[in-house]
């Protein structure tokens, strides 16, 4: 039977006190939420995000526009129908487009740099020049500077184009990348109708530009990502321990909800609900059902992600519930984990800027087969989205490669979730295959070198 709510609440209080070093004990008279701010106050977080935005706009954007041959980039969107690239181009205090926001980027060359204009919407902490309009805003006939709105904005855009005379104008339309396809059909119709055939003829797809603008990460974002991954590790380590799990009592969904609640209590979010699953000797997945009670001798698996300061983690770890009298994990299970670790090595060794996702996948799978590993690789970028912008390295059901999404190339200063699984027969379980599925985040640095964002799992989490 399920543990009563009061028991689960007690477990939460205990784990909250134990899981975070230096946390205030529950009976201290202080608020746990006030005591635990893993990434600082909201103000500190937003200031940090603003510094990231400034560096992205001043350092990465000009380089990427020139790499893709984009002279001018226009990104229109309406409130609550934001372009996917929106979150890479605005401050931490901007949660939605304002009415209609049109962002314009014009590359004036290496000396003058990229001019950043916004036709509607805020200046994003002074990083954009706001283009306003004069109009009557009251019955007295007074002309005042007003926020542009509606069809007037398209005319303002046309005026910007006429003044600046770009040879081509990049827009976010793509049949390959969702991240490069943010221009809605209605916005496209309104824009082209106002611009007319001459300017419409100069529109062209932005290609991989929005993809790589989303993918690019700064050095301080890397430092933050290490902190974020460490927190993910800490939460998983507590979830897969006797602090949260009582064999024979705790259901897998109890653990999932504990992980989700833990994030909420820390003032953080997640981009997917945590999942926990069980593999058991002599029992099939169908026999286990959707929400089994965790028993001694079970192999545990979790998939868990944190969202903080708009950045996402993605982690899959393995756990083991010791049987009575056991002091360590059976050798066969250790070997299963070692095989998935080896498969991680192969992926990391092949992750290099300039290579496509499909190229990396083919190479890794060839090496995997040579080493006799029975596995699959389905790694992906991570960052401002969980399944983020960049080249996909396989899908769990598309090991032959992913046309389009897998043909994009990796860039320096981006992140990946190395996600994969290796299946191994376990002698102690009578040869029953056990799936060791792991996912660990890595950083591809500005120098192209790959390192674990925090560390990787090489030993099972233990429930004693």
Joined tokens for residue 301: 């698996």
Q: Measure the CA–CA gap between 386 and 271, rounded to whole angstroms.
A: 7
Is residue 103, in this structure, part of any structural domain at all?
A: yes
Asked, for residue 28, whether it belongs to a domain, the answer is: no
Which residues, 6+ apart, have CB-to-CB distance to 246 below 8 Å?
Answer: 3
Q: Which of 159, 187, 213 is the last residue of a domain?
A: 213
Reported confidence tier of residue 135, pLDDT bands at 50, 70, 90: low
Task: Give bridge partners of residue 205 from the DSSP assignment.
Answer: 171
Residue 261 shares a structural domain with residue 140: no
Q: At what angle do helices 5-19 and 219-239 cross, to 10 degrees?
A: 140
426 in any annotated domain: yes
DSSP code, position 275: E
Q: Clarify whether residues 123 and 164 are in a common domain.
A: yes
Query: What confidence score (pLDDT) does residue 23 get?
Result: 35
* Shared domain check, 443 and 377: yes
Q: Do 92 and 143 reside in the same domain of the chain?
A: yes
The per-residue pLDDT for range 33-61, each reduced to its tens digit, is: 545 789 999 999 999 999 999 999 999 99
Please say if the pLDDT value at position 384 is more than 70: yes
Whether residue 280 sits in one domain with residue 177: no
Domain of residue 375, residue span: 227-463
pLDDT of residue 145: 67
| HSE value, Cβ hemisphere, 13 Å, CA-based, for 221 | 31
Mean pLDDT, residues 456-464 taken together? 98
Higher pLDDT, 145 or 237: 237
For residue 268, is it left (φ>0), alpha (ψ between -120 and 50) or beta? beta
Shared domain for 98 and 231, answered yes or no, is no
Per-residue confidence band for 25, with pLDDT thresholds at 50, 70 and 90? very low
Using DSSP's 3-state secondary structure scheme, residue 403 falls into: coil
Specify the CATH number for the domain of residue 403.
Answer: 3.90.230.10
pLDDT at 98: 87
Q: How many domains does the chain have?
A: 2
In a domain, 153, yes or no: yes
Whether 189 and 280 share a structural domain = no
Is residue 309 domain-shared with residue 196, that is, in the same domain? no
Q: Which residues pair with 120 in a beta bridge?
A: none
Out of 5-14, 198-207, 408-417, least confident range: 5-14
Do 150 and 293 share a domain, yes or no? no
Q: At what angle do helices 331-350 and 357-370 cross, to 10 degrees?
A: 140
Q: Are residues 311 and 437 in the same domain?
A: yes
Above pLDDT 90, what percent of the chain? 86
Are residues 258 and 153 part of one domain? no
pLDDT on residue 10: 38
What is the pTM assigned to this prediction? 0.89
Q: 213, 247, 266: which is the final residue of a domain? A: 213
Instruction: Inform me whether the pLDDT recorded for 220 exceeds 60.
Output: yes
**Quick one: tokens of 268?**
């953080």
State which of 213, 241, 273 marks the end of a domain: 213
Summarize the confidence of residues 429-444 as an average pLDDT: 98
For range 365-391, the mean pLDDT: 98
CATH number of the domain that 146 lies in? 3.40.350.10
Assigned domain for 49 exists: no
Specify the pLDDT at position 27: 35
The alpha-helical segments, DSSP class H, found in 289-435 are 331-350, 357-370
Mean pLDDT value of segment 292-314: 98
- Mean pLDDT, range 314-324, rounded to an integer: 98
Residue 345's pLDDT is: 98
26 has a pLDDT exceeding 50: no
User: Where does the pLDDT of residue 74 fall: very low under 50, low under 70, confident under 90, or very high at 90 and above?
Assistant: very high
- Co-location of 298 and 261 in the same domain: yes
In tens, the pLDDT along 225-234 reads 999 999 999 9
Read off the pLDDT band of 210 (50, 70, 90): very high
Specify the pLDDT at position 227: 97
Mean pLDDT over the full length of the chain: 91
- With beta carbons less than 8 A apart as the criterion, state whether 217 and 225 touch: yes
């Amino acid at each position: 039977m399920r543990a009563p709510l009061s028991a689960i609440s007690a477990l939460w209080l205990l784990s909250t006190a134990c899981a975070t070093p230096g946390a205030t004990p529950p009976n201290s008279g202080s608020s746990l939420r006030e005591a635990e701010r893993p990434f600082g106050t909201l103000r500190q977080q937003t200031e940090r995000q603003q510094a990231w935005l400034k560096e992205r706009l001043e350092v990465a954007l000009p380089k990427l526009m020139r790499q893709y041959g984009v002279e001018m980039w226009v990104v229109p969107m309406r409130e609550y129908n934001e372009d996917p690239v929106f979150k890479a181009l605005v401050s931490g205090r901007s949660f939605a487009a304002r009415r209609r926001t049109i962002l314009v980027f014009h590359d004036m060359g290496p000396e003058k740099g990229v001019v950043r204009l916004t036709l509607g919407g805020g200046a994003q902490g002074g990083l954009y020049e706001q283009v306003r309009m004069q109009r009557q805003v009251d019955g007295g006939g007074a002309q005042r500077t007003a926020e542009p709105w509606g069809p007037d904005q398209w005319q303002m855009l046309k005026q910007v184009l006429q003044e600046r005379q770009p040879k081509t104008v990049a827009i976010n339309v793509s049949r390959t990348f969702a991240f490069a396809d943010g221009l809605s059909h209605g916005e496209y119709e309104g824009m082209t109708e106002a611009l007319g055939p001459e300017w419409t003829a100069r529109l062209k797809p932005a290609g991989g530009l929005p993809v790589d603008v989303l993918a690019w990460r700064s050095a301080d974002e890397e430092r933050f990502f290490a902190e974020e991954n460490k927190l993910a590790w800490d939460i998983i380590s507590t979830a897969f321990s006797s602090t949260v799990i009582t064999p024979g009592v705790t259901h897998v969904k109890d653990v999932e909800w504990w992980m989700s609640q833990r994030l909420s209590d820390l003032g953080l979010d997640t981009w997917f609900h945590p999942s926990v699953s069980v593999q058991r000797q002599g029992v099939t997945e169908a026999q286990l059902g959707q929400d089994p009670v965790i028993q001694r001798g079970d192999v545990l698996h979790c998939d868990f992600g944190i969202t903080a300061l708009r950045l996402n983690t993605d982690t899959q770890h393995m756990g083991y519930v010791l049987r009575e009298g056991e002091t360590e994990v059976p050798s066969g299970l250790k070997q299963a984990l070692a095989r998935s670790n080896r498969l991680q090595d192969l992926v990391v060794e092949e992750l290099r800027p300039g290579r496509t996702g499909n190229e990396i996948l083919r190479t890794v799978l060839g090496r995997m087969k040579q080493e006799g590993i029975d596995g699959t690789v389905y790694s992906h970028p991570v960052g401002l989205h969980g399944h983020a912008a960049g080249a996909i390295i396989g899908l769990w059901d598309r090991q032959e490669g992913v046309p389009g999404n897998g043909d994009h190339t990796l860039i320096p200063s981006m992140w990946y979730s190395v996600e994969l699984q290796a299946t191994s027969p376990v002698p102690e379980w009578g040869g029953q295959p056990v799936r060791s599925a792991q996912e660990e985040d890595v950083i591809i640095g500005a120098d192209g070198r790959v390192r674990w964002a925090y560390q990787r799992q090489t030993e099972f989490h233990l429930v004693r």
